[in-house]
Amino acid sequence: MGEFELIRNYFAAAPCAQLGEGVALGIGDDCALLSVAAGEQLAISTDTLVAGVHFPDACDPFLLGQRALGVSASDLAAMGASPLAFTLALTLPEVSAAWLEAFARGLNEMAQGCSMRLIGGDTTRGPLSLTVTVFGSVPIGLAMTRSGAKPGDLLCVGGPLGDGAGALPLVLNQRSAEASTTQALLARYWSPQPQLELGMALRGKATSSLDISDGLLADCGHIATASGVGLRIERDKVPMSDALRAFFDADEALNAALSGGDDYRLAFTLPASCLAELVEAGWPVFVIGQVVDGRGVVLIDEQGRDVTPLTRGYQHFRETR
């Protein structure tokens, strides 16, 4: 199978690659063309997944397809952008029809779930890696950045944390558990559900936002730095799923929720006056702490004692200072 046949069969023909709102020209030309409504800005983010680093070499291609797009779309959710389209740069060690078919199905499933269209990409030979670039639109002035948190705001997250990190020993076949626990954790790892609707609902309300990919403490550190504020997280308010609590002992579960990566839930700051309306409307908003004067992220116990752990999250390159 040649490069163009591969693109045609598995990507251009996929339901998610057909034209739709906002996509004036899709796969097949030198560029795709996106139409952005007047008064809107384009939100763009790119993520690379490398075999052996971000996923095991021999993983299920269907799940990989889902995950590759899910983690990227999560960045659109963090900004409050409405999802539009994505491109896929795929590097493959060899062409396997079965692998491509399953991968494209997984990708398509996530794309349909997120209302995103595949508009182009690149296909090359080499060690397995995937780069997904996502495009969304957001009304001018309403994108939620990391830099607007104000002392007095509440610090919130969009759901239980730690399941992605909890799934890792299962993904790596290092541990086993009851079927219901295994299923719940693996589902969060392999098909992270980007909180796109929540992101859009927070427009004009949240003062800062990001999606948690490297662990709660590490990612909240980015909000603290960008906003020039401190964050106090109350340890006992950090939400965790029943599956995580069943799988791990209390310390391991807390550690996964605080420092494990792969959550893809939103963390955001909110003026207290915005809370009731969001909760009443049924949005998943879990208050875990406050924005304070100062800098950095501090974890406190029920007595208000500083219990901040030393290790905070995953980094590909360690800071040298």
- Residue 93 as a binder of ligand ADP (CB under 6 A): the answer is no
Using CA atoms, how far apart are residues 74 and 109, in angstroms rounded to an integer? 15
Binding of Mg ion by 122 (CB under 5 A) = yes
Angle formed at CA 264 by CA 260 and CA 267, multiple of 5 degrees: 90
Q: Is 106 in the site for ligand ADP (CB under 6 A)?
A: no
The answer to whether residue 118 forms part of the interface with ligand ADP (CB under 6 A) is: yes
Residue 257 contact among ligand ADP, Mg ion, none, beta carbon within 5 to 8 Å by kind: none
Contact (CB, 8 A) for 246 and 188: no
Q: Which amino acid is at 217?
A: L
Residue 2 touches ligand ADP, criterion: CB under 6 A: no
Q: Which residues contact 319 (CB under 8 A, 6 or more apart)?
A: none
Name the residue nearer to ligand ADP (CB basis): 85 or 238: 85
Annotate 213-249 with b (16+ C-beta within 10 A) or e (fewer): bbbbbbbbbbbbeebebbbbbbbeebbbbebbbebbe
Numbers of helices and strands, H then E, in the chain: 10, 12
DSSP E strands in 93-171: the ranges are 117-125, 129-139, 154-157
Q: Which residues are registered as beta bridge partners of 136?
A: 43, 83
Report how many residues bind Mg ion under the rule CB under 5 A: 1
CA nearest 123: which of 3, 10, 13? Answer: 3
Instruction: Answer with the entry of ligand ADP, Mg ion, none that 261 interacts with (C-beta below 5 to 8 A by kind).
Output: none
Cα gap 267→78, rounded to integer Å: 8
Give, as ranges, the residues between 32 and 91 that touch ligand ADP (CB under 6 A): 88, 90
The window from 116-124, 152-160, 174-182, 201-209 that contacts ligand ADP (CB under 6 A) reads: 116-124
For residue 102, the partner it binds in Mg ion, ligand ADP, none, with Cβ less than 5 to 8 A by kind, is none
Tell me: does residue 100 bind ligand ADP (CB under 6 A).
no
Q: Which does 30 bind (CB under 5 to 8 A by kind): Mg ion, ligand ADP, none?
A: ligand ADP
**Closer residue to ligand ADP in complex, CB, 61/261:** 61
In whole angstroms, how close is the CB of 129 to Mg ion at the nearest point?
Answer: 15
Q: Is residue 121 a contact partner of residue 198, using CB atoms and an 8 Å limit?
A: no
The CB-of-58 to ligand ADP minimum distance in angstroms stands at: 21
Q: Does 122 bind ligand ADP (CB under 6 A)?
A: yes
Q: Which one, 68 or 220, has the nearer CB to ligand ADP?
A: 68
Q: Shortest Cβ distance from residue 121 to ligand ADP (Å)?
A: 3
Pairing mode of beta strands 230-234, 296-300: parallel
From residue 163, how far is each of 119, 122, 211, 219, 262 by CA, in Å?
Answer: 32, 32, 15, 16, 8
> Does residue 27 belong to the site contacting ligand ADP (CB under 6 A)?
yes
> In angstroms, what is the minimal distance from the CB of 111 to ligand ADP?
11
By rule CB under 6 A, what count of residues binds ligand ADP? 13
Give the nearer residue to Mg ion in terms of CB position, either 27 or 224.
27
Say how far apart CA 265 and CA 278 lie, in whole Å.
16
Q: What is the C-alpha separation between 106 and 228, in angstroms, rounded? A: 40
Q: Which stretch binds ligand ADP (CB under 6 A): 26-34, 136-144, 203-211, 251-259?
A: 26-34
Please choose, out of 114-122, 135-143, 255-263, 301-309, the segment that lies near ligand ADP by the rule CB under 6 A.
114-122
Binding site for Mg ion (CB under 5 A): 122
Binding site for ligand ADP (CB under 6 A): 7, 11, 27-30, 88, 90, 118, 120-123
